[in-house]
Amino acid sequence: MTAMLITDIGELTTNVGVPGDPCGTMTDAAVLVEGARIAWVGTAAEARRFLHPSASDAPEIGGAPLEVVDAGGRAVVPGFVDSHTHLVFGGDRADEFAARMSGTPYAAGGIRRTVAATRAASDDELRRRLAGFVAELHAQGTTTFEIKTGYGLTVHDEARLARLASEVTSEVTFLGAHVVPAEYAEARDEYVELVCGAMLERCAPHSRWIDVFCERGAFTPDESRRVLAAGIAHGLLPRVHGNQLGPGDGVQIAVALGAASVDHCTYLDEADVAALAGSDTVATLLPGVEFSTRQPYPDARRLIDAGVTVALASDCNPGSSFTSSMPLMIALAVREMRMTPAEAVWAATAGGARALRRDDVGAIAPRMRADLVLLDAPTRVHLAYRPGVPLVDAVWKDGVRL
Ligand code: NIG
Ligand code: FE
């Protein structure tokens, strides 16, 4: 088994929360990694004993030579957990973005253009593109990511996207209910039946999650309930796209079903906030969408102050948010949504882990996966303070440097 000690960490964000500091911040810290897992976390002074293993209290390092990484006083944070992406697709919608920047509003219907391009793309084209996105995510410090289907919308194409996504992540979400495809425009009920029947049947073996875009222009509350119930009956766990473009029932549906997360949460009323606060459902905020569509940002402060668990994710997709950068999400959350830097970093790591119901990622503590990001900065605040600057210096996933 390999062993690695990262020491002289100026600021370590453990996310092992203490009252007043959910980030569980340590200074002058060190982390010992054995194989794929974190073995020990402590101070750099205490870590000296691993360098001189004759000391009586030295733990076993399995006989492996210890690789020592000197962080030089810089900050280490957990690998980012991006709990919401749509990374398997063909085509490009830069023209739509440009038109939007000149005043055309964003509408859910643009999804159909990507559907056409995705259906026309071969497995190998999609796989190549996906590999590029995965490299992009890793380079920016994301070590766990979810991927949704939703740009196929036929039994064959949705199953293809779910299978391709499952080649790069265990967090695959079946989103056959992304939008009603053009060929079913006059027969939406038949389409919902297809999603709940043959399509689900073929996608469930590759998926962990079931999702629905519950929104005017996409699926109604009743249709959304049907889709989620069918997914749950197939052993999938629910999550919901809701309250993105206007008020709606997405949040209430998600909470009633015990969904892991309801994503977007831009248009909420008091009852929505209260329902989230009294539940285990995470509110996942996707500020890349508001940035790229010039919509109002969700009210993160209202949610956090009400006691709602908030996650940040990129929603990387070719329509509403074509960025895979979690550091950008942190910067937007701080600068546009009045989250503190600590809240934003927590939401992009531990919050994402909660939104995916994962207890092995999103924190730096013994037995957690060794998913770590060394920043070229003295503190995590720099992620928001220096927007757009590539501060990710080194990334380890499962103890392996990427
Ligand atoms: O999360 N809301 C639905 N799906 C995406 C948009 C996808 C697209 O426009 O292609 C989203 O914003
Ligand atoms: Fe989305």
Q: 175 is written with which tokens?
A: 């989103």
Residue 63 pLDDT > 80: no
| 320, 322, 323, 324: residue to mutate for ligand 1 pocket, most atoms within 8 A of CB | 320
pLDDT tens digits along 165-208: 999 999 999 999 999 999 999 999 999 999 999 999 999 999 99
Domain locations along the chain = 3-79+363-401, 80-355
Proximal ligand: closest to the CA of 291: 1
Question: What's the mean per-residue pLDDT of the chain?
Answer: 96
Per-residue pLDDT at 110: 85
**Is residue 107 very low, low, confident or very high in pLDDT (cuts 50, 70, 90)?**
confident
pLDDT tens digits along 128-166: 999 999 999 999 999 999 999 999 999 999 999 999 999
Distance, CA 113 to ligand 1 centroid (Å)? 12
Per-residue pLDDT at 59: 54
Per-residue pLDDT at 106: 78
**Domain spanning 80-355: which CATH class is it, in words?**
alpha beta
d(CA 320, CA 318): 6
Q: 52 is written with which tokens?
A: 């001189």
Using a 6 Å CB cutoff, which residues line ligand 1?
A: 86, 110-111, 114, 213, 241, 244, 289, 315, 317-320
Give the angle subtended at the CA of 1 by the CAs of 13 and 68, to the nearest 5°.
Answer: 50
DSSP state for residue 75 in the 8-state scheme: E
Residue 56 pLDDT > 70: no
Distance, CA 265 to ligand 1 centroid (Å)? 13
Per-residue pLDDT at 172: 98
Starting at the earlier edge strand, list the strands of the sheet with 142-148. Answer: 80-82, 142-148, 171-177, 209-214, 237-242, 261-264, 282-285, 310-312
pLDDT tens digits along 281-299: 999 999 999 999 999 999 9
Asked if 140 and 316 touch (Cβ cutoff 8 Å), the reply is no
Distance, CA 189 to ligand 1 centroid (Å)? 21
DSSP state for residue 168 in the 8-state scheme: T
Per-residue pLDDT at 333: 98
Closest protein CA for atom 1 of ligand 1: 315
Half-sphere exposure in the Cβ direction for 391 (13 Å, CA): 26
pLDDT tens digits along 242-272: 999 999 999 999 999 999 999 999 999 999 9
**Domain spanning 3-79+363-401: which CATH class is it, in words?**
mainly beta
Of all atoms in ligand 1, which is nearest to the CA of residue 84? Answer: 1
Closest protein CA for atom 12 of ligand 1: 320
Using the CB atoms, write b or e for 312-331: b if 16+ within 10 Å. bbbbbbbbbbbbbbbbbbbb
Distance, CA 168 to ligand 1 centroid (Å)? 21
